[in-house]
Amino acid sequence: MNSHTILDSPIGPLTAVANDAGLAAVYMAQHLRRPGWESFGERVDPSASPVLSAAAEQLGEYFAGARREFSVPLAPVGNAFQHRVWDALRQIPYGELRSYGDVAAMLGGRSMAQAVGAANGRNPISIIVPCHRVVGADGSLVGYAGGLERKQFLLELENPSRTHTEALF
């Protein structure tokens, strides 16, 4: 059974969704491909769920610059290939970038770059499964379900010396 909470963040409200197995989703406002609210279950205070409480605490620490890795149990819904991609995303170190081709190579072949991009775009656990660390082959900011401004914010949070302002236009 799903439950959800709304968390404040520097990039706007985040909707965290938990199921019986763990954290199922973290969606941003205006998130592309976000399912309907009815699928999120009852809205609860984060303290009512150990998973939502951990997600709230860890995301707060991340935005404060005090957390680089997450330990909240994850339970995203997706097919086997999407899970492979999402697992690969979690291997990208904090503050670093990889191209879609790089992630495809991690999974067995650069020819899968478009499929990786599609799975990346379906990642339901934003920030914690760091799809924001994936960029175009030329280093440009492309394809972020939460919007390129949020992607830029997250990348600059993780590595303040990196700016991609020019890639937004």
For the stretch 14-25, pLDDT in tens is: 999 999 999 999
**Does one domain contain both 87 and 153?**
yes
**Does one domain contain both 48 and 125?**
no
**Domain limits at 156?**
80-168
At 142 the pLDDT is 87
Domain tally, the chain: 2
Q: What are the pLDDT digits (tens) for 116-144?
A: 999 999 999 999 999 999 999 898 888 88
Those residues of the chain that have pLDDT short of 70 are 162-169
- Are 76 and 33 within 8 A, CB to CB? no
* Residues catalogued as catalytic: 131
Cβ-Cβ contacts under 8 Å for 98 (sequence gap 6 or more):
92, 106, 133, 134, 135
At 133 the pLDDT is 96
HSE (side-chain half, CA atoms, 13 Å) at 49: 27
Task: Judge whether 69 lies within some domain.
Answer: no
Task: Judge whether 16 lies within some domain.
Answer: yes
Give the CATH number for residue 116.
1.10.10.10
At 162 the pLDDT is 66
